[in-house]
Chain A
Amino acid sequence: MSKKVLLVDDSTTTLMMEEMILKQRTSYECVTAKDGLDAISRAVVESPDLVLMDVVMPRMNGFEACKRMRTESSLSKTPIILVTTRGEEEYVEAGFQSGCNDYITKPINGFELVTLLQSYLGE
């Protein structure tokens, strides 16, 4: 059974790019959400094996969505990777405090993305 990845971003461009890379380079199934609130409800229903989520989004940002996911028993141990525009220490620290497992910076590098996800989900 293939692993399921929830991709969360308000940018259709980013979702399209991430989905294209993962579908061609891995066997993961991709489901998508357009903001933090949408991500929580999708995650509860879909029970993904990993969440790849942007930080800056309307309605609810990635930090907040990450915190809320950690309070859901079904999502408390799901790997969450945040996609940030900044790699600065403060920003990364805020991500880890929200409960994320890892982060990747924009613009996303295809090889780095696949390698990072495979380190959590296997090939």
Chain B
Amino acid sequence: MNMRSDLPAKNEGQNSAQILGNQAKVYAARMRLQNAMDQADALDAIREIAGNLIGTEEVAVFKIDNERSELWLYWSSGVDPNKHSVLEVQREPRLKQVLNGKPVFRLKLSAENLLSTDDPVNALIPVLVDGSACAVIVLFRLFPHKAGIEPVDREICEVLSNCAGRAVEPYHSR
């Protein structure tokens, strides 16, 4: 058997398994959030998705206080809540884009941090309810073996953005 002729088929199989794996992650994230039973379960879903599908055990949700131009810590897992109780919009230029509904990701291998904190921040994800950002999910340190945010992680973050409203607005259906 000519081994070289098997290579394209092998690569194709690898690619399709990879694509399917990514689709499975995005689907599982969406199903988990949409089927969350209540607010507590929706917050648990965020923790599960961050840990099992993206690769971080350090995650926090900040609620937006538009009147005071700040975000206050609403819920967290794996981070010191005393260290991150409030984020002031004026001191965090990256937040402006997030408050307009666009996520911000730390580039792979970049030393730049997304927030003015010692803890590495890898993603700032707006939680959208009725088209407006009502909260921000912050993903801190990734697992040591994970080099950075991958394209599939961005897709999962988009699901978080669109489907995690119930975690912060209990009467929101999605």
Which residues of chain B (7-24) have a CB below 8 Å from chain A? 14, 17-22, 24
Q: For the complex formed, measure the closest distance between the CB of B3 and the CB atoms of chain A, giving whole angstroms.
A: 18
Known: A21-B21, A25-B17. A13 touches B145 (CB 8 A): no
List residues of chain B with CB within 8 A of the CB of A17: 21, 24-25, 27-28, 52-53
Known: A85-B51, A110-B20, A110-B21. A105 touches B32 (CB 8 A): no
Closest to B25 in A: A17
B29/A107 in contact, CB under 8 A: no
A13/B29 in contact, CB under 8 A: yes
A108/B32 in contact, CB under 8 A: no
Option from A13, A25, A88 in Cβ contact (under 8 Å) with B52: A13
CA distance A77 to B113 in the complex (A): 48
Q: Does A94 contact B (CB under 8 A)?
A: no
Q: Does B64 contact A (CB under 8 A)?
A: no
Option from B22, B27, B32, B145 in Cβ contact (under 8 Å) with A12: B32
List residues of chain B with CB within 8 A of the CB of A110: 17-22, 24
CA distance A85 to B48 in the complex (A): 12
Known: A17-B25, A20-B24. A107 touches B53 (CB 8 A): yes
Q: Does A31 contact B (CB under 8 A)?
A: no
User: In which size bucket is the chain B interface?
Assistant: 20 to 34
The total number of A-B Cβ pairs within 8 Å is 83
CA distance A114 to B54 in the complex (A): 19
B20/A25 in contact, CB under 8 A: yes
List residues of chain A with CB within 8 A of the CB of B31: 13, 16
CA distance A115 to B20 in the complex (A): 14
Q: Does B146 contact A (CB under 8 A)?
A: yes
List residues of chain B with CB within 8 A of the CB of A109: 18, 21
Q: A20-B24, A105-B145, A106-B51 are in contact. List 10 more A-B contacts (CB 8 A).
A: A9-B52, A11-B52, A13-B52, A13-B53, A14-B48, A14-B53, A16-B27, A106-B143, A110-B19, A110-B20
Which B residues are within 8 Å of any A CB, using their own CB? 14, 17-22, 24-25, 27-29, 31-32, 45, 48-49, 51-55, 57, 143-146
